[in-house]
Structure 1
């Protein structure tokens, strides 16, 4: 495929000694869109970048990826809020695989790795000669004069209510930081690669790790967009859901909140409950990306997700990432020592 290159500004190591860390300019390969759908998505992205020029960095997402070789990795999951939750998801996947396999050697590997993950905070394991890594991704939301960006017309969006498969767009994505991307996607990648948390808004160690990531994981891949619900409170937009894989999932999250959560929180009147139920019906009927009810304003927002890379693969969790939970078996042992859990039979 014919193409050209975008070079970012130089990324000097500034004394960092890791043998895999990369210095010098980072090259993003660019290719012209060849399919009409790709061209439409490129035009859509360019228009939205102009309409929503401000990028704001959100909290990280964690998951796991499989090394396919030749610089390619397959993202198998990316939805957890903490590194330990991602390790637990990986261990669960391995237990599912163990239940299905008839290969004794693979079963032995899976049992051994499962024991390690149950007791230790390990971010990379080997199964049947292939690497699996717990990975970390940065998230961003575009903002314009009217608030956060909503889903784009060219974004994949499932049909009727209840049809959105949970996390469907977050599993099985093959990524390669050396692969060519469209011109607008390349510019988005360069913009996101240079982003870090502001010193004034986060703890010092989080800011330092964020700046350090620009040097030690200077390459990146923009993953399929995620979505979330946000609420405008006193002129400021606040998250009102976790990250979801499609706009339809976000609509269903709004409808569920209106029908089942709000009636059980506080003490809403019958009139208020009826108003929220009507708003839920309208969201489902119109597939709207914004809804107003009882002086409250909710919007489905589009989340950009960047997976950073160095020469060895995608970025693992950072030392400053919030990771309070111990591995499950280690936690059970702590509870037994405290007399809060009986000894196993």
Structure 2
């Protein structure tokens, strides 16, 4: 693998034959889908935070935010939860001091009780075939109960190690995704440059459990119609919520149109279908693959070109007070 600056560092992915029958079925599903949906398209990044466990292993604690600052705020909230639970004075002091820093500064790595916590980014991808984006696979877990509060709850506490062995198809997918970068055409120059640079600074990676989203085919092109979600069920519920509660309140739909969307929602509930068409509109639940890049020092942090418009909360409040939009604290 190489880019404009010459050969890239060789990537070694350890491979192990799956022994559990469920893992073998998932491998077979993956092989079939890679063949049926061979084209990979990059989406927007996700942000979260992880804890350094040592020996190259990290524990993903959250990965669902759309901006680096939102991920920093999630980390600060997690530390406030720890502060409310701990009875250790030294740990409490650490948590207070780190929380104060996160409330005022854009920092992407902190230390608490001698352990590193890092704000990280992950790339997302969708596979495409002749019929459009890849839907959920038969072997994908589909929760029997929706979790509207904790998105990607299956990733909380997930141990990741780029040196750990994976199945043969997963290894092939990992290598495939590691070589992906944003094209020069269609994205700002700094986004393209950072994407290209990441191939060198963070050449290794781990493919995380899949996410899901809703896409709509508009004018022959598939466009995102929801944020990333944890399960196919959550994505189906995003469709039925839109049909039952959003459509009647947007524009001026007729009674017949409202009834058509309600029937389509009932159909999705009854069949658990991953695709539905209503009044010449076509929606599909799609599968979103997520790659967490790693370098010698751990998972990739936010890039300089990542969209990060929000200031930390206390810094934001200070700006508002300076503008006379908030009263001074008593």
TM-score for both structures, normalised by structure 1: 0.92
Per the TM alignment, residue 265 of structure 1 is displaced from its structure 2 partner at its CA by: 1.1
Tell me which residue corresponds to 2:67: 82
Instruction: From the superposition, tell whether residues 59 and 163 of structure 1 become closer, same or farther in structure 2 (CA, over 3 Å).
Output: closer
Secondary structure of 1:308's match?
strand
- RMSD (CA atoms): 1.7
Which moves more between the two structures, 211-220 or 23-32? 23-32
Tell me which residue corresponds to 1:20: none
The answer to whether the Cα contact below 8 Å between 2:9 and 2:203 also exists between their aligned partners in 1 is no
Tell me which residue corresponds to 1:101: 86
Secondary structure of 1:257's match?
helix
Tell me which residue corresponds to 2:257: 272
The answer to whether the Cα contact below 8 Å between 1:62 and 1:136 also exists between their aligned partners in 2 is yes
Tell me which residue corresponds to 1:262: 247
Instruction: Output the CA distance in 2 between the equivalents of 1:34 and 1:197.
Output: 36
The answer to whether the Cα contact below 8 Å between 1:161 and 1:284 also exists between their aligned partners in 2 is no
Could you tell me which of 12, 15, 23 is aligned with 1:27?
12
Instruction: Output the CA distance in 2 between the equivalents of 1:152 and 1:322.
Output: 32
Per the TM alignment, residue 170 of structure 1 is displaced from its structure 2 partner at its CA by: 2.5
Secondary structure of 2:75's match?
helix
Instruction: Output the CA distance in 2 between the equivalents of 1:180 and 1:162.
Output: 31
Secondary structure of 1:31's match?
coil
Secondary structure of 2:244's match?
helix
Secondary structure of 1:30's match?
coil
Could you tell me which of 16, 39, 53 is aligned with 2:24?
39
The answer to whether the Cα contact below 8 Å between 1:164 and 1:246 also exists between their aligned partners in 2 is no
Could you tell me which of 45, 51, 70 is aligned with 2:36?
51
Instruction: Output the CA distance in 1 between the equivalents of 2:325 and 2:264.
Output: 45
Per the TM alignment, residue 166 of structure 1 is displaced from its structure 2 partner at its CA by: 3.6
Tell me which residue corresponds to 2:184: 199
Instruction: Output the CA distance in 2 between the equivalents of 1:168 and 1:73.
Output: 17
Could you tell me which of 99, 114, 132 is aligned with 1:114?
99
1:301-336: CA deviations, max 9, x gaps? 000100000111000000000000000000000001
Per the TM alignment, residue 24 of structure 1 is displaced from its structure 2 partner at its CA by: 3.3
Could you tell me which of 299, 304, 307 is aligned with 2:284?
299
Tell me which residue corresponds to 2:76: 91
Instruction: Output the CA distance in 2 between the equivalents of 1:99 and 1:121.
Output: 24
Tell me which residue corresponds to 1:286: 271
1:171-193: CA deviations, max 9, x gaps? 11100000000000000000000
The answer to whether the Cα contact below 8 Å between 1:78 and 1:170 also exists between their aligned partners in 2 is yes
Aligned residues: 330
The answer to whether the Cα contact below 8 Å between 2:25 and 2:139 also exists between their aligned partners in 1 is yes
Instruction: Output the CA distance in 2 between the equivalents of 1:103 and 1:161.
Output: 36
Instruction: Output the CA distance in 1 between the equivalents of 2:145 and 2:306.
Output: 37
TM-score for both structures, normalised by structure 2: 0.97
Instruction: From the superposition, tell whether residues 89 and 282 of structure 1 become closer, same or farther in structure 2 (CA, over 3 Å).
Output: same
Secondary structure of 1:307's match?
strand
The answer to whether the Cα contact below 8 Å between 1:12 and 1:215 also exists between their aligned partners in 2 is no
Unpaired runs of at least 5, structure 1: 1-8, 15-22
Per the TM alignment, residue 165 of structure 1 is displaced from its structure 2 partner at its CA by: 5.8
Instruction: Output the CA distance in 1 between the equivalents of 2:109 and 2:254.
Output: 52
Unpaired runs of at least 5, structure 2: none
Per the TM alignment, residue 200 of structure 1 is displaced from its structure 2 partner at its CA by: 0.3
Instruction: From the superposition, tell whether residues 11 and 71 of structure 1 become closer, same or farther in structure 2 (CA, over 3 Å).
Output: farther
Instruction: Output the CA distance in 1 between the equivalents of 2:153 and 2:75.
Output: 17
Write out aligned runs for 1:107-146 (5 A).
Answer: 107-146=92-131
Instruction: Output the CA distance in 2 between the equivalents of 1:100 and 1:33.
Output: 40
1:311 and 2:296 are equivalent in the alignment: yes
